[in-house]
Structure 1
Amino acid sequence: MSETSILSVPPEQPGLAVAPRSLIDQEAFRRLAEVPPEVEWFANLSSAATRRAYETALQDFRRFVGLREVSDFRRVTRAHVIAWRDDLVARTLSGSTVRHRLAALSSLFEYLCEKNAVTHNPVKGVRRPAVESQEGRTPALGDQQARELLDAPGEGSLKALRDKALLATLLYHGLRREEVCRLTVKDTRQQRRGVVHLRVLGKGGKTRFVPLHPAARAQIAAYLERAGHGSDVQGALFRAVKVGSGDRSRGMTPDAVYKIVRTYTAALGFEVGAHALRATAATNALDHQADIAKVQEWLGHASIATTRLYDRRHTRPEDSPTFKVSY
């Protein structure tokens, strides 16, 4: 059978190309052609976490300024942005939060400039609050607290085994909660140079391989043996265990991970979120002389400046000159 190009010219209409068969109808084509660039920008954000954070920032700005339509962003001036910034500061939000919200708004206007929807970015030139410290604000647990947390789920039940494996994966590898939710069974069995690794899908779709800590490996094996989905290599590693929770093959959500960590740490008297376990892993590795460039790669940070936020060696109380004073 001969192949016919979709651009072939029929004999009865010389000079007129045949249009390819459309996979969408004309009404859908018209709607897509009329999508405002503001909506287009938001839909093009690949990270679900970034979309959530940016949506929070832009909804806050819309409420403050009173924008009713998406296209109203094109009428925003620098005065509007400055007034919003001052309001954020007055609400006692941290400097990093204010900077992040301004960055979200600036990202939108940079895209609108590219699309010639606006003539300039009104966020440019707006002074942003200074970062309070070069040390991260996320708390890190001490060694004793980490050990207590790893033992907190107890023994016996499927939920206890799952939670012990989940907490071990977070504490021994410094994963983001979104990353641990994306892990499949197969991701825990990656062999590299004879060592079992975790394959981690990080921000921006970037994949990194992290050696699987023996303690976490043992907890994961015990969980999979009890849960019974170890042969489902393409399926989610961490799954719901409650009766009546629907499709048990579906992976856990980042919110569920957050709630699990909060519940156990609150019961232990030091309530923190899941990100604190990432900070704990990074801080612990640096305290034990891990190379900071290796920690950057391990955590999946684009910039080593972000990794330095977890480097608290210079603030350890035991190293303070206070304890060098002797009379």
Structure 2
Amino acid sequence: MFDLVRPDTLAPALPSLYAPDVASRRRTVEFFTAHIRNANTRKAYAQAGADFSRWCGRHRIVDVRSVEPVHVAAYIEQLSLAPQTVKQRLAALRALFDWLVVGQVLPVNPAASVRGPRHSVKVGKTPVLSAQEVRDLIAAIETDTVIGLRDRAIIGVMVYTFARVGAVTRMQLEDVYVQRRRLWVRLHEKGGKLHDMPCHHNLEDWLHDYIDGADLAGVTGILFRSAKGPTATLSDRPMSQADVYRMVGRRANAAGIETLIGCHSFRATGITEYLRNGGKLEIAQQMANHESARTTGLYDRRGDQVKLDEVERIAI
């Protein structure tokens, strides 16, 4: 795994590791530290660069300036990964080599002309729940503990605002505010974008219950806090995405839900139920803070119900 703070650990992302080329190494470090701001993107791109570097080392390509389109194509061809992962690897190499071209380390981008595998997705694969399953899950959460109130509020934010788990874990107490006599939440989305959403009346109640139950009214700092100690009192630290994922799994098991859901399932479920009840795709796009309506459409799983109804017509 990479230490994305220390520059020397970023050098293996390029074949220049094997050549005494200070300029290309420095330019590579700048790509990961100054150019890419999202931690998840940085981690994925660093993994792609390091894997390509190892491949180059096995084939005795020791200088980044020696990399040609045929080398990138051969590397992509031998990857035994899902098509979307291969396309991500290629995108990472293209972006990295583009950065080196701009920095005058390379004359041309050797990955620019390489084509990735065809991959067209019309329906997302994120597992979704029915509205009744969400109600069952919520009903199974105890509300006589601050942890239960917290977990119910977290799930509520993901369902009713279509929020990504990363945006939820970054929320501050001041991101819950009143406007036009309604409670609103401010989500810190990818790329540093802020996205404000009004609360559904259920979510409004659940947030009030959690903030009051945790004695957080009038306090500043992180909203959804991790628990510590045998009495499960809240700490001052934020929950991590892994914490929320484990919490979702525990709550689903307690509610008897057999579908293998994750945090993103609530985003897909919320969008699907919104559209099922007459919502418009372009409005769902705005609510989900998607750049494209096509991306929002991947979360629309109304067709699953049609398939379930129609398969029962096979009278054998």
| TM-score bin, normalised by smaller chain | 0.7 to 0.9
Cα deviation digits, residues 271-308 of structure 1 (max 9, x gap): 22211211111122122221111111111112222112
Alignment of 1:209 with 2:196, yes or no, is: yes
Alignment of 1:301 with 2:290, yes or no, is: yes
Alignment of 1:220 with 2:207, yes or no, is: yes
Alignment of 1:239 with 2:229, yes or no, is: no
Cα deviation digits, residues 116-172 of structure 1 (max 9, x gap): 111222222222122243111212212222222223332322222211111111112
TM-score by length of 2: 0.81
Q: Which moved more, 1:114-123 or 1:46-55?
A: 46-55
Alignment of 1:250 with 2:237, yes or no, is: yes
Distance change >3 Å, CA 174–CA 159, structure 1 → 2: same
Cα deviation digits, residues 156-200 of structure 1 (max 9, x gap): 222222111111111121111110011111111141x44321111
Aligned to 1:197: 184
Alignment of 1:150 with 2:141, yes or no, is: no
Q: RMSD between aligned alpha carbons?
A: 3.0
> What is the distance in 2 between the residues matched to 1:63 and 1:293?
44
1:216 aligned partner, one-letter code: L
Find the residue that maps to 1:150 and give its secondary structure.
Answer: helix
Distance change >3 Å, CA 216–CA 94, structure 1 → 2: same
Alignment of 1:61 with 2:61, yes or no, is: no
Paired residues of 1:151 and 1:164 also in contact (CA < 8 A): no
Cα deviation digits, residues 308-327 of structure 1 (max 9, x gap): 2112334542697667899x
Aligned to 2:9: none
1:197 aligned partner, one-letter code: W
**Count of residue pairs the alignment pairs up:** 288
Identity of aligned residues (%): 32
Find the residue that maps to 1:229 and give its secondary structure.
Answer: coil
Find the residue that maps to 1:231 and give its secondary structure.
Answer: coil
Q: Which residue of 83, 108, 117 corresponds with 1:120? A: 108
> What is the distance in 2 between the residues matched to 1:195 and 1:246?
29
Cα deviation digits, residues 53-94 of structure 1 (max 9, x gap): 222332333333338xxx954443223322222232xx3x32
Aligned to 2:270: 281
Runs of 5+ unmatched residues, structure 2: 1-21
Aligned to 1:25: none
Alignment of 1:317 with 2:303, yes or no, is: no
Paired residues of 2:170 and 2:188 also in contact (CA < 8 A): yes
Aligned to 1:38: 28
Q: Which residue of 123, 134, 154 corresponds with 1:135? A: 123
> What is the distance in 2 between the residues matched to 1:138 and 1:186?
31
> What is the distance in 1 between the residues matched to 2:249 and 2:308?
31
Paired residues of 2:129 and 2:265 also in contact (CA < 8 A): yes
Distance change >3 Å, CA 303–CA 98, structure 1 → 2: same
Larger radius of gyration: 1
TM-score by length of 1: 0.78
Distance change >3 Å, CA 190–CA 201, structure 1 → 2: farther
Find the residue that maps to 1:249 and give its secondary structure.
Answer: strand
Aligned to 2:90: 102
Q: Which moved more, 1:164-173 or 1:267-276?
A: 267-276
Find the residue that maps to 1:199 and give its secondary structure.
Answer: strand
Distance change >3 Å, CA 125–CA 213, structure 1 → 2: same
Distance change >3 Å, CA 228–CA 75, structure 1 → 2: farther
Paired residues of 2:65 and 2:106 also in contact (CA < 8 A): yes
2:45 aligned partner, one-letter code: Y
1:136 aligned partner, one-letter code: G
Runs of 5+ unmatched residues, structure 1: 1-31
Find the residue that maps to 2:236 and give its secondary structure.
Answer: coil
> What is the distance in 2 between the residues matched to 1:73 and 1:254?
36
Aligned to 2:15: none
